[in-house]
Amino acid sequence: MFEFVWPYVFIILPLPFIVRAFLPAKRVAKSAALRVPSIASFQQNTSQTQAKGRGFVLVSYLIWALLVSAAARPQWLGEAIAIPSEGRDLMIAVDLSGSMKQADMQIQGREVNRLTMIKYVLADFIERRVGDRLGLILFADTAYLQAPLTFDRDTVQTLLDEAVIGLVGERTAIGDAIGLAVKRFSEKQESNRVLVLLTDGQNTAGNISPDQALELAKANKVTVYTIGVGADEQIISSFFGTQRSINPSQDLDERMLSNIARETGGQYFRARDTQDLVNIYQLLDQLEPVEGNIQKMRPQSALFYYPLAAACLLVLLSLIAATVRPFISVKMAKNDGSRDALKAKEDKPYA
């Protein structure tokens, strides 16, 4: 179906006619008369000038009508399409503390830091969340809402890719991240209210303790899936060339993360490598989606650029014609003068 989004714009369509009717007529300057043997050529020039003037006025009106039509926003509406009304509300909380710089993870045989691995795995995780609303929380010294719950997965992915370690501090405020997620979920009544929290340490900052955040999550029926990120063993080389094994995840508070997940009906995952982190996919896919109101959408195709392009083309042609016309007139005048002189010479009687 074809329609104009702003049809009331056509009210200004007769504006040029109104202005032309009420403006005072242009005064014709008086000039001295010159007697010539014949006025046929002058009558011809006058008629040509009048015709050109009428043509210019008509083209101007046509350009105006095209511009008004473009301003009214013509568009084509397609058939109504039903939008899936089932989905989950998932909030993802990512740790950006200084310990995430630890390069104890691997992607396809290449050593990377923990945040890079999280971004790599979450890229596919976010892509699979068709029909779900996703939100993103970044936390360190405190928690910040980077993306509210939205169906725009591309934006969530872009904001995650732009996150850098140390953006919001160096410490870890796990309680604040859970509390912020609970606050955002409380604004929506019908929701799965699932929080996926990824961290590699323990709570060392924030205004809310993990125990307080746990009580808030339980009171608001928020299910928390916690993921402890970091390898259990890493081989490092000393200055003298010797190697020794260390545990880079010794600061990870697995007991706290397991308790939060268990008390809220979630599950704790230990992500020692990429495959461990991928395992959360199947579990989240089994969550019952929430059925919402049926919504329909009609695809819209904007058509304003057609009359706009036609108006621009007419303006361009008018400018070209105005530029070329003086040269054509001069050439025609020279040709007429040459013919008149030749005729006068032929009509002159011989002495």
Alpha helices in the chain (DSSP H): 15-22, 40-71, 114-127, 153-162, 174-185, 210-219, 254-263, 274-278, 280-285, 305-347
What is d(CA 204, CA 166) in angstroms, rounded to the nearest whole number?
15
Domain boundaries of the chain, sorted by first residue: 1-22+39-79+298-321, 84-295
Which residue ranges in the chain fall short of pLDDT 70? 24-53, 81-87, 189-191, 232-250, 284-285, 287-297, 325-351
User: CATH homologous superfamily for 84-295?
Assistant: von Willebrand factor, type A domain (3.40.50.410)
Whole-number pLDDT of residue 131: 76
Whole-number pLDDT of residue 321: 78
- Give the tens place of pLDDT for each residue, 318-344: 888 777 766 666 565 555 555 555 555
Phi-psi region for residue 301, left (φ > 0), alpha (ψ -120 to 50) or beta? beta
Whole-number pLDDT of residue 100: 84
Whole-number pLDDT of residue 160: 92
- Give the tens place of pLDDT for each residue, 155-167: 999 999 998 888 8
